């Protein structure tokens, strides 16, 4: 059943749309009337998300791309606009994680996290902004993390990358508010996604015990991707028309 068409007639481009928060965001925006461009390196997951949207009578296209590369970002935007029209909403949800202190983090680990978590958001914004500025409107929502606002153990590169996303969001909002473009970010806490379970494996911990420990917050559980997607949709929509440069924490009270 389709939800109220808050995004009817609009095109949303979502990176990292094959799984987790990105996938949940694609499905939610489509149910609310958006045409959706799904971008990910995971072809199988991305095509499955596009097929699910199509089965619900929505419009979606999947594009396989590594958005840490400038040429890939340019190709993605060109192709999705040729297929679906002008981009009204950009959601930068592509992300990777590495758990380790500075001493446990290689140059390759550091560069990969910076390239995907920060570089992809920077490059996608740079490619999409001219069109939004030309139309005098647009919304960009970046997916940061609670660990972009506070530190965390054995996550030096991840914390640094997500802190950079927070500051990139603020700088973009200042520069492009006068152009009619709003830029915000969400800072999720522990959300039950494949990435969270990957963390458990990377740390050598039992998944069940890891998730139980992650639930130690005022609401007493980890979050669901759909709950973060709702926050993203609100930030991207007309209800948040006077909201820009802000970071919305969605973590069940963990930072409190």
Hey, what are 4's tokens? 């109220």
pLDDT band for position 207 (50/70/90)?
Answer: confident
**Catalytic residue ranges:** 158
Beta bridge partners of 38: 14, 62
pTM: 0.95
pLDDT of 115 strictly over 80 = yes
The set of residues, in sequence order, having a beta carbon less than 8 Å from that of 223 and lying 6+ positions away, is 188, 189, 190, 191, 192, 250, 251, 252
Hey, what are 64's tokens? 């396989």
The set of residues, in sequence order, having a beta carbon less than 8 Å from that of 194 and lying 6+ positions away, is 19, 20
In the predicted model, what is the mean pLDDT of residues 231-237? 98
Domain ranges of the chain: 11-250
pLDDT band for position 10 (50/70/90)?
Answer: very high
Hey, what are 15's tokens? 């990176």
Give the right CATH number for 11-250 from 3.40.50.720, 1.10.287.3510, 1.10.10.200, 3.30.360.10.
3.40.50.720
Among 75, 66, 76, 87, which Cα is nearest to 138's?
87
pLDDT of 1 strictly over 50 = no
pLDDT of 5 strictly over 60 = no
Mean pLDDT of the chain: 95
Percent of the chain topping pLDDT 70: 98
What are the tens digits of pLDDT across the range 146-197?
A: 999 999 999 999 999 999 999 999 999 999 999 999 999 999 999 998 888 8
* N residues, the chain: 256
Say what the pLDDT of residue 4 is.
57
Say what the pLDDT of residue 137 is.
98
In the predicted model, what is the mean pLDDT of residues 130-147? 98
List the single range of 2-6, 70-74, 173-177, 193-197 with lowest mean pLDDT: 2-6
């Amino acid at each position: 059943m389709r939800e109220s068409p808050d995004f009817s007639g609009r095109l949303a481009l979502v990176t990292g749309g094959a799984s987790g928060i990105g996938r949940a965001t694609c499905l939610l925006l489509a149910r609310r009337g958006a045409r959706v461009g799904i971008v990910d390196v995971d072809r199988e997951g991305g095509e499955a998300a596009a097929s699910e949207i199509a089965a619900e009578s929505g419009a979606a296209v999947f594009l396989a791309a590594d958005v840490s590369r400038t040429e890939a970002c340019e190709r993605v935007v060109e192709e999705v606009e040729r297929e679906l029209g002008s981009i009204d909403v950009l959601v930068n949800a592509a992300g990777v994680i590495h758990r380790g202190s500075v001493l446990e983090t290689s140059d390759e680990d550091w560069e990969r996290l910076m390239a995907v978590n920060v570089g992809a958001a920077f490059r996608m914004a740079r490619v999409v902004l001219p069109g939004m500025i030309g139309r005098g409107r647009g919304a960009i929502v970046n997916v940061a993390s609670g660990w972009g606002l506070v530190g965390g153990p054995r996550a030096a590169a991840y914390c640094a990358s997500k802190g950079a996303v927070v500051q990139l969001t603020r700088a973009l909002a200042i520069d492009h508010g006068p152009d009619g473009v709003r830029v915000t970010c969400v800072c999720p806490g522990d959300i039950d996604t494949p990435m969270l379970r990957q963390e458990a494996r990377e740390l050598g911990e039992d998944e069940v015990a890891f998730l139980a420990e992650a639930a130690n917050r005022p609401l007493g559980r980890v979050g669901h991707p759909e709950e973060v997607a709702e926050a993203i949709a609100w930030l991207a929509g007309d209800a948040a028309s006077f909201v820009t440069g802000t970071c919305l924490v969605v973590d069940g009270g963990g930072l409190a």
